[in-house]
A and B are shown apart, each in its own frame.
Chain A
Amino acid sequence: MRRFGGSPARTISRAVTFLVLLLVTVVMLYPFWFMASSAFRSLQQYTLGLPGLSLASWRLLLQLLPIGQQVLNSSIVTFGSILLILILSAMGGYAFSKLSYRGSQLIFLAILASMMIPVQSMIIPEYTNLSYVGLINQYIGAILVYTALYTPFATFLMTMYFRGIPNDLIEAAVVDGLGYLRIFFRVMLPMAIPALATIVVLEFIQIWDDFLVGLLFLQGPDVRTITVGLATLNAARVLNVPVMMAGSLVSAIPAIIVYLLFQRYLIAGLTMGMGK
């Protein structure tokens, strides 16, 4: 194709461009390579720069952190929140796009505006309120906080998506005698699967990776998430780099897998947030 045609100047410029992009790739990938390669070396191999691979750091990591429990805690909180977010945003999006009532647009705007609230600005009363009702160190407490934080964007996505479904379709279903509840389950939800999938992928990464909410609302060692557990390793000044990198790898791998499989949904989510 064009790569082989064109003037020599053009070919050189393309080659330079390619090299620049390759250099950027090294800068972007180096931290991952460092993490993965250090994790499989013993402390001695790492500090003295000796060659060879070892699982010693993994054994130490398993002694220091209840990895299985923490991954389970992260999963419970992440999937619990995603489920609630899907339910609330699908219902809300359906109503805001197809079942408008007096004041519904104002409520929709308020929910959009809530996306501009920085977490830190509401987190102090949130913490004292939840501790007042005894929801600290309970999965459901963290799940509720995540749901409150991420449902507004999901509702925005669902509303935009449902707006693209013609009103005639709803009218026809009503004429056919379907109630609004049945229309939701039989007509709207099946059509919304791409939008729902986008929300699942987006929120999985956001919640799995989160630190602050876990730090405050799930403090007990038995309910701690993997991200918070990893940070305690750092705070405990465990000066063992391979162990810390092994822990980082455990925490990062689920998100990396989701990223590699569903990258296009993430990009879709980003661009949907961009346009109107």
Chain B
Amino acid sequence: MIGRHLPSLALLLVLLAGWEAIVRLAGISALVVPAPSAVATVLWDGLTVGFLWPHIWITAAETLMGFGLGCVVGFVCGVALGESERLRHLLWPYVLATQVVPKLALGPIFIIWFGFGMTSTVVITALICFFPLLENTMTGLQAASPEKRDLFRMLGAGRWQTLVRLKIPSGLPVVMAGVRVAIVLALVGAVVGEFIGSGKGLGASIIAAQGMMDSTLMFALFVAITAMGLLFYQLTLLFERWLLRGWLKGKVS
């Protein structure tokens, strides 16, 4: 496990050392590109003194709430549209239109509707997560083979049973692929949502750092956001492995 990650870890160290060396030797201003050591110091201070933590919690909360809301609504709508052809024909153009609109462009109107703060950011994040779940759920529901559908008909399964016991489980790998896309987009949505609609959180802190011309702090915030994204993605992967353990067991042997 560790051995597999060793080369990429070594590469990281080499890159950081190179960066540090170039910044120091060329005398590049910290305003343009700060040295990794300076970034690490600011990040360490932020975490130990604690002024970063409230922002981290807020961004994490916005990301997870938006992600949860978007995934649930996207999944439910995906099931509804996947099951009913009439509904699909009726609503699909509208769904597509709402997704083609850049959601961040809706930020200003959300601020009017939901106020300046967390709610606007959560709504933007949820909207961003909605589409990958909707689309992957609709696709996933078609994944069950015709033979399995015939099997369920032979066994006298009703429509609801076929949905819950055949179509949704068959589609889960595809749905989970959508969830993985959504968690990454959710963090982007939350951070960028904070740019326009919030005074707190890591995204809002980036704007504040920009105002103070503090590039070192901005880089420290990038690192915190990246770490959070990696953590969320890994947790999603773990959840997926647990959920799809039956399929995966088959693949191992």
The finding on whether chains A and B are genuine partners in a shared complex, rather than unrelated, reads no
